[in-house]
Each structure stands twice: as structure tokens, then as C-alpha cells.
Amino acid sequence: MSVPAREKVELLSGNEAIARGAYEAGVTVASAYPGTPSTEILENFARYEGVYAEWAPNEKVAVEVAHGASMAGARALAVMKHVGVNVAADPIFTSSYTGVRGGFVIVTADDPELHSSQNEQDNRHYAVAAKIPMLEPSDSFEAKEFTRLAFALSERFDTPVFLRSTTRISHAKGAVRLGEASGPPPASGFVRDPAKWVMLPDNARRRHAIVEERMRSLAEFAETFDGNRIEWGDRDLGVITAGVSYQYVREAFPEASVLKLGMAHPLPSRLIREFAEGVSRVVVVEELDPHIEMHVKALGVPVQGKEIIPIVGELSPRIVREGISGKSVPVRPAEGLPGRPPNLCPGCPHRGLFYVLNRLKVTVAGDIGCYTLAALPPLKGMDTCVCMGASLGNAFGIEKALGKAALGKVVAVIGDSTFLHSGITPLIDIVYNRGFTTVIILDNRTTAMTGAQENPATGRTLLGEPTRRLDLAALCRAVGVDHVYTVNPHDMERTEAVLRRELFRGEPSVIITEAPCVLLPDHRKDKRPVYEVIPDLCTGCMACSKLGCPAIEWVPFTPEEAVAAGKKGSQKGMARINPLLCDGCNQCPPLCTFRAILEKKD
């Protein structure tokens, strides 16, 4: 295949391809809240010349900013993970009514298999519910092409457009042909048009009729859209599929006829009927819910779907092959081995706090972030985790259910970025409704879980500009919390003392644990001493192991080995600190009663 000289092929992830597509489409305003698997879209988009890109405090704000930019005539992009659409649903549903001026596209990155999420909801339902068309690419090549197309459709049909990715699209790489940037549309400015933009009931009633008409036109478009295509093959088996499932189908059944749907909503009814009539057996292969299957069944077309293809988790070529053929092929079983779950990093400031919480035996209402990993052994320092910002409301609810008996027994734990995302309103609820909840804000100066993004409390923007740094303590005082204290979580003795006092206070209090994330470049540049265990002093009591620090390793002994090492035969082993992993946080030395952990001398 010869490539014309000016065309360049690059290996891009789906996320990089979406960013490129938005750039080529002439997007000038983009807003997002970071969330796996969507985060890299805005990080990559922000690197293009002449664009504005921002981290919003949450997804609802991101959609409102992008919608506003569209009102003023710019092409605008809002990006979020699947659960972010729940947060943003309010403006999304009504933006469907107002329509757009500049093209307006909302990316939803779903996470089948819950690689890094709290549920595996299928956001194709949102397209149906909000009456918004949805495109669904099946690899990086289409991710870029469909992003460009989404902007064209948005302007042509006066509608927001959803682009749905999944983890295996966003985080898979494939060859993409780079195109030219089309250049942004001329900035037209905001034009007064109350019947379009002011959704008072009377206006909105008329817009609803326009939305229904628009969806009829889009359904007609879907019939001839070349992203919905039939690939005729063997007529014994016809598979209707979309997204990454298309790749699995082509891999598992290279000879089958395939109807590949690039548009998840609205679906092309005539094309589906034509396909079904051309094959003797029709199967729908789609991840998660039976979205396409229900539509096909509603057409009266006999079809197999979720009775042979799982509704839970990701698909794979093997799952598709076994589901359709009804035959399972034995494979070598995986070995039974100790698991390797993710863990808080060596030197993570969160570890100090959760060690203390574990000692205090309180109920910990948790939240979304790296610190959710503290729910795993040995820290086991978290008792609930539902969604962004839920910790405060959950803790307050537990308190209201138990009354005075909850005093000293419940805390809410939330990260700095998560608090700004949706923890402020429940804090207001606690103050307003006379609660006494103890709230701990873990301020590590970044949005760590998604790879260290800036947020309003870091003092920098996505574009790298310095900005006013939000003062978390002042904010908490402003909403009416009189007791706000800042502690260093590496200093566990002090942290414990402050917590013991605040837990029993009959008024709301906020404790901010402040220490930088170890992944931040400034922290990594900083040279700190590492620690070592002096073998002669270690009695194998395992006090340091309770931190669950990856740098502290347990060396087991047999009785003979113990005696040979000069220990009692009953000593089961001893601790060792891996100097390649130790970050020098100084959390473990005070835990050692035998003073066996000392700074390592070079």
C-alpha cells in the first residue's frame, strides 16, 4: 500500500485519535474531568497549537462550558468516563433540546470489565434517553474519523452528539492516518435566540417537537451512513455488532456475514431487516446490555443475543467463538499464584492516615481515588465506596441513622480533587443540618489516581499556566465549619492525636492531611535518605508490615535458619527494606519498638 507523501501514519491510542480528530475538526474549546479510561483525550488535545483545554471541577461543569462555547459558535468538546455522564446528565438532557451552534460533542468512555471503575454501566442508554445521536468507533482509525464526523453531524442536525468509547478502544493502539486541520469556524458570537436557548416550559415544549423531528431525520441518515455497513460473507451466519466487539467477531468468524454498526443511536431499521433477510441465522454480539438486540427484536426479527453472549464483563474472540458455536475449546488453566493487586505507592502519604484510622477502629465512609486502595489488606481502612463525593453524605446518613451513638465512630475520607468535584455540597448539608461529622480531606496536591492531573487546589491549569490556588481550609470555614485543622499524615502520632480529639467533637470538623503525592515530579527530584532494617535488632514482630508498604518485605525463616541468623528458633522471619523502592517517608521507623529501622548509610 503506497502512502502519498504528505500523509502520515501513526500508532495512536483511541484517546490520542479522538484528540487528533477534535483538532482536525477545528475544536477550539474543550473541557473535561479526568477519569479512566478517558483522561488522555484532553491531555493530548491540550498539546495542539491554538486550542483552549481545561480541567473542570466536575463533568457537569465540563458539559456546561462546552455547551456555552457552542452557543457562541465555537466547536466544543466535553470528555468524561461513563460515570461522569451521570454527573453531567442534567445539562446533557436539556442541551438535546437547545441544540447547538458550533459543533458540540460529548465523549463517554465506558469501562466494561471495571478495569478502573465502580460499575460497568452501558452509556448507550443515555443516547436513547436524552435523544442524542451516538457514534461508536471500533478502533483508533475510526475513533479519529468518527470524531470528525460527530462535529459535522452536530452542526448539520443541530444536536449534541455522543461519541462512545470503551477501555479497549481508548487504551488500544492502532494505525491512524493523520489528516489536515480544517481550521475553526469563524467565531460568530452569541446571538440572542430565546426560543432556542431559554428553556422555559413554553419554549422547551416547542423544542421537544423539533428534537423528535431531528431524531427521525437522523434515523433516515443512519440507513445510508457508510459507518453502518454490511460485509457479506458466508450466508449461514450473520452477526450484527459494533465497537470493539466487531474486531472480536471478525477474528473469531472471518467468513461470516457482518452488519457493522458505527452508529449506536438511532439504529438503521431497514438496513437491519435487509441484513437479516440475507442470512439464515442472526446473532447480535455486543458488550454489556442488549441495546442492539432489543431494537432488532422490536422489529420482529428472530435473533440470538444475550442468551449466548455474556451481559457481564468484556468480550473476547474466544467468548464470541464459544458463544456462537456452542463449543468450548479447552485451554491451559492459569496457574494459582499469589495475586498482585494494585497498592498505594511506597511513601504514599495516604498510608499514614489509613494506618491511624485502622487503629482507631472507626467506620470509614470512603470515596473515589488512589486512597480507595486502602480498603485492601493489610490496611483495610475503608468501609464504603460508592461514587465521587459520596463519602460525606454517606457518613452523615450513618450519623443521622444512629444519632448520638455515632459520635466518635464515623469519619468521611475524600481526596482533594474529589472533594472539589462533589464534596462541597454534602459538607454544606452537614453544617446546615446540624451534624457533627468528621471529614478528612486528603490533600496530596494532585489528581493522583488518573496520573497526576492539575485541579483547582494545585495552582496550575491543564495548559500549564499558574492560577489562583484554591484554599481548602478557607473554603471549609466559609461554608461554616469552625474546626478545620491541617496535619502531616506522615506524622502518625500527631495525626492520631488530632483525630481522637475531633472524632468526639459535637460539631462538624474537617482535618486536611497535607503531603505531596510521591509521583509528582518535584517530589521525585527531591533526594531523601532511604531506610534499612538492622537485622540484629529485628525481632520479627511484623509491626512495620502492618503498613502494607511495598518497600517492606518479609523474609520468612525456618527454625534452623532463625538459629543460624542468631535469632530464637521461634522467630518466624524478619523484615527487610528494599532500597530500590523505599521513598524515605519516615512512616515505619516510629512503629518499630526495637528501633531496628534506621536511615541507611551509603
Partner 1 sequence: MTQARGNVFLAGVGGQGALLASEVLGEAFLLGGYDVKKSEVHGMAQRGGAVTTHLRYGPKVFSPLIEPGSADLLIAFEKMEALRFAHFLSPAGAAVVNAQEIMPPSVATGRERYPERIEERLAGVTPNLYMIDALAAALSLREVRAVNMVMVGAASRLLPLPETIYLEALRGRLPERIVEVNAKAFRAGRALLVPRGA
Applying CB under 8 A, the residues found at the interface with partner 1 are 9-11, 36-37, 115-116, 139, 167-168, 171-175, 244, 247-248, 250-251, 316-318, 331-335, 337-345, 370, 373, 376-378, 449-451, 542, 545-546, 548, 550, 552-554, 556, 572-573, 580
Task: In angstroms, give the least distance from the CB of 263 to partner 1.
Answer: 20
Decide: 173 and 13 in contact? Cβ < 8 Å: yes
Task: In angstroms, give the least distance from the CB of 312 to partner 1.
Answer: 17
Whether the ω angle into residue 112 lies within 30 degrees of 0, i.e. cis, is no
Task: In angstroms, give the least distance from the CB of 351 to partner 1.
Answer: 12
Taking the least distance from each CB to partner 1, the nearer of 273 and 576 is 576
Taking the least distance from each CB to partner 1, the nearer of 9 and 152 is 9
Task: In angstroms, give the least distance from the CB of 274 to partner 1.
Answer: 24
Taking the least distance from each CB to partner 1, the nearer of 342 and 480 is 342
- What is the spatial distance between Cα 502 and Cα 510, in angstroms, rounded to a whole number? 8
Decide: 560 and 596 in contact? Cβ < 8 Å: no
Count how many Cα atoms sit within 13 Å of the Cα of residue 281 in the half-sphere of its side chain. Answer: 10
Task: In angstroms, give the least distance from the CB of 165 to partner 1.
Answer: 13
* Sign for the pseudo-dihedral over CA of 249, 251, 257, 262: positive
Task: In angstroms, give the least distance from the CB of 219 to partner 1.
Answer: 29
Taking the least distance from each CB to partner 1, the nearer of 135 and 345 is 345
Taking the least distance from each CB to partner 1, the nearer of 97 and 248 is 248
Whether the ω angle into residue 91 lies within 30 degrees of 0, i.e. cis, is no
- What is the spatial distance between Cα 146 and Cα 263, in angstroms, rounded to a whole number? 9
Task: In angstroms, give the least distance from the CB of 524 to partner 1.
Answer: 12
Write down the residue that cell numbers 452501558 correspond to: 122
Taking the least distance from each CB to partner 1, the nearer of 159 and 372 is 372
Concatenate the DSSP letters of all residues of 297-320 into one string.
HHTT---B-TTTS-SSS---HHHH
- What is the spatial distance between Cα 289 and Cα 283, in angstroms, rounded to a whole number? 14
Decide: 108 and 163 in contact? Cβ < 8 Å: yes
Rg (CA), the chain: 28
Taking the least distance from each CB to partner 1, the nearer of 276 and 582 is 582
- What is the spatial distance between Cα 207 and Cα 190, in angstroms, rounded to a whole number? 19
Taking the least distance from each CB to partner 1, the nearer of 281 and 546 is 546
* Pick from 595, 600, 596: nearest CA to 581: 600
Torsion (CA) 563, 337, 110, 60 in degrees, nearest 10: -20
Task: In angstroms, give the least distance from the CB of 545 to partner 1.
Answer: 5
Taking the least distance from each CB to partner 1, the nearer of 244 and 597 is 244
Task: In angstroms, give the least distance from the CB of 231 to partner 1.
Answer: 12
The 10 Å CB-count burial string (b at 16+, else e) for 155-181 is bebbbbbbbbbbbbbbbbebebebbee
Amino acid found at 396: F
300 conformational bin, left if phi > 0, alpha if psi -120 to 50, beta if neither: left
Task: In angstroms, give the least distance from the CB of 80 to partner 1.
Answer: 15
Taking the least distance from each CB to partner 1, the nearer of 270 and 528 is 528
For residue 371, what is its C-alpha cell?
486512597
DSSP code, position 123? T
